[in-house]
Amino acid sequence: MIRLNVPSIGEEEIAAVREVLESGFLVQGQRVAMFEERVAGYVGLRYAVAVSNCTGALHLSLIASGVRPGDIVVVTAYSWISTANVIEICGAQPVFVDIKADTFNMDPDALERTLSRLMATRSTACRVKAILPVHTFGQLADMPAIMSLAHEYDLPVIEDAACALGAKLSGKQAGRWGLAGCFSFHPRKAITTGEGGIIVTDDSGLATRLRSLRNQGMDPDGDSVDFIMPGFNYRMTEFQAAMGTVQMEKVDRIIAARRRLATTYDKLLAGSPVNPPAVRSDSDPVYQSYVVLLPEQSARHRDVIIEHMKAKGIEVTIGTYHMPMTRYFRSKYGFGPADFAVAQSVFTRALTLPLHEKISEGEQGEVVRELLLSVE
């Protein structure tokens, strides 16, 4: 089986986890702080707050930046459902924005139209509290355009950088553009701690609120135990952090390998009816997923293509979700397929190909051969 993703885990990770398990100190020790320091240093920001997963990271970031029930958060339409769920869980309303057909990222022109519509009416203007762009599949959204609109309307930006640790746009890393950036360490991402997430920021007040919120609202700087707000238990374990610290030593190697593999796929697909992922000239993506677009007429056969590939021992899957068209959001807000036409088209045509350090060039050739046979 050519698997979609295989985490890059070696003896070093196993030894690091074993050491923590043998120590008997499994939570709330120094390993989480060390991991946070490592990630903050890598991204080049002052603070990193590790949590149990990126969904928790996004949830806490929204609460800590002031999103309350009845508020509005403006968000991209095409993402893992987590991105919209956290808004809804805050009691706020996601207002979706369509995407660009080439990069699958939030369309800044559509964002501008949405913001100017929301801001033109007093009853909605006062409810808009944040913008939540996603760096889809590890390629940065158009952050210069998004940040300029955020400044114009004085809104904080929380980056859903779940897939984008190490990705850059104009040389500037994911997580450095907005008020905060959230990364995931789920096994489908480039580096992993099993489950895990982290928030990076340069805002010390925000970092303090995040530390409190992840740990039952405890005062993170107090001399004695006291609770300054209602919080959650979204803590990361010591063995996850120990594993993450070892993974951080390999992150550049892993990203370089993913880029090399993506280039090989790009060459294999050149001139075929299947579109390789588009990359802006100033963009350095990390290819959390290598997502191609099937030709329009093959979209309705996509499930058959996925099954055919599986029968040939090749694991492929869809890209990600058209969130407004999932049942909960569609029925609550009454969306239809024409509301976000680009996300609708990309959702039906996208296909993720296997990409991980253990795949060989020969196997990549096999993937593309079977794919092109099944679309023709």
Structure tokens at 247: 């993974």
Angle between helices 361-375 and 238-269 (to 10 degrees): 60
**What is the spatial distance between Cα 352 and Cα 68, in angstroms, rounded to a whole number?**
36
Residue 274: its H or E element: none
When the beta carbons of 20 and 323 are compared against ligand PLP, the nearer one is: 323
Backbone dihedral angles phi then psi of residue 122, each to the nearest 5 degrees: -60, -40
* CA dist., res. 40 & res. 46, Å (int): 6
**Hey, what are 251's tokens?**
């992150």
Residue number with CB closer to ligand PLP (186 or 375): 186
User: Nearest distance from residue 84's CB to ligand PLP, in Å?
Assistant: 10
Q: Which tokens hold the place of 90?
A: 């805050």
**CA-to-CA separations, 189 to 67, 164, 236, in angstroms, rounded:** 27, 8, 17
Burial class (CB in 10 A: 0-12, 13-18, 19+), 344: buried
Using the minimum distance from each CB to ligand PLP, give the nearer residue, 8 or 298: 8
Spatial distance between the Cα atoms of 218 and 222, rounded to a whole number of angstroms:
8
Here the tokens at position 47 are 């603070």
Residue 265 CA to residue 82 CA, distance in Å, equals 29
- Check if the beta carbon of residue 201 is closer than 8 Å to that of residue 65: no
What's at 126, amino acid-wise? C
The distance between the two most distant Cα atoms of the chain, rounded to a whole number of Å, is: 68
* Residue matched to tokens 């997430």: 197
Residue ranges that bind ligand PLP, judged by CB under 6 A: 53-55, 79-80, 82-83, 134, 160, 162-163, 184, 186, 197
138 by DSSP, 3-state: which? helix
Report how far residue 339's alpha carbon sits from residue 344's, in angstroms, rounded to the nearest whole number: 9
Which residue in 287, 209, 179 sits closest to 51, CA to CA? 209
